[in-house]
Amino acid sequence: MQQIPDILQFSKNQKGVLQKHELNALHLLSLKNPMKLCRFLETPIYYLEKIINSPEYKQYTITKKRGGKRYIFEPQKRLKRIQKRLNYYLQAYYLCIKPEEVHGFVINPHYLNKTHCNIVANAEVHTGKKHMLNIDLKDFFPSIPARRIKKLFTSPIFNFSEQIATALTLLTTYEAKLPTGAPTSPILSNFVCLELDADLRNFCRENQLQFTRYADDLTFSSNEFISNEIILKIKDLIHRHGFEPNEKKVYLKSAHHKQTVTGLIVNEKVNIDRKQLKKIRAMLHDSTKNGIETAAQRHFNLTNPPDEEQQQLFIHRLNGYINFVGQVRGKNDPIYQRMAGEFHEIIY
């Protein structure tokens, strides 16, 4: 089991006072009995028992980009509120012990002034490498069973009692696994992966590899060739920790080909794919020339003109794309500034 340092030894500010996320982590770890859990979750015990015994989820599917369907389980309102509260404190604790190689599902408080954990930071590690290996973990959340979550809660990482561990497991799993759509699933998957991350980090250090993980997306890079033997050993480590590589999403690419990490180009510097830039330019051009209504109709492939909500969704999406360009290329980048200027003229 991953060895976790004494939380009281975590970094303190210059006055020797624990920071907010560290105090929140201690608050979470202090749960010793059901009454404390109820007060912590701000939920009466009779209602907590009802939710635990009969959790309610709304199930629907979304189409994956490359075909197939993803099953989403959205918790009902009160359960979602509880899970959001749990997520807040779980995030605080994970931030205290987070491996530097992990960049996904991590919230950094603004007061830490650390590098943000996002796909840009994840990609920067692999910039300019001669060889790159991408491995995707298959069915990430559904592959984590409820028994593994309970084992996590009773492990030295949390050291919860059997009663508290069982309650938290039932509050965060559905149909005996982590549900895709629950607020707590991403951060719990990070905790479950602590041992995997540690073993991959040690393996990579021994074999001159750079390694990062963004959710279920694992990236390895090196200026030395990544042999089949190395790849097989990495896959074996993944299997040993209860996960399965998605063989359809295992890629080994040299610097002579387009290398991507979480959708970003990293051959020379972190950059956005030209296809994405072209798509944004097309959306801006269509909006300028034909108006938001026509551009939204074309973008969503609608038979009838879009309603107000669909037009607002189009505007929000276009704004998000442009802000992402600024995040990746920088706010002083001329491409970003031109796009932002055109967007402002369209909207205002």
Residue 21 Cα distances to 2, 10, 117, 133, 288, angstroms: 21, 11, 16, 34, 46
CA dihedral 140, 142, 147, 149 (to 10 degrees): 50
pTM: 0.89
DSSP letter assigned to residue 115: P
- Residue 1: per-residue pLDDT: 45
Q: Is 234 exposed, middle or buried (0-12, 13-18, 19+ CB in 10 A)?
A: buried
- Residue 114: per-residue pLDDT: 59
- Residue 9: per-residue pLDDT: 55
- Residue 283: per-residue pLDDT: 97
Averages of pLDDT over runs of 10 residues in the chain (348 residues) are 50 68 94 95 94 93 79 95 97 94 85 70 95 96 98 97 97 97 97 98 97 97 97 97 95 94 93 94 96 95 94 96 93 95 92
In this structure, are residues 168 and 86 in contact, taking their beta carbons and an 8 Å threshold? Answer: yes
Measured at the CA of 302, the angle between CA 296 and CA 304, to 5 degrees, comes to: 100
Tokens (6 digits) for 144: 């984590």
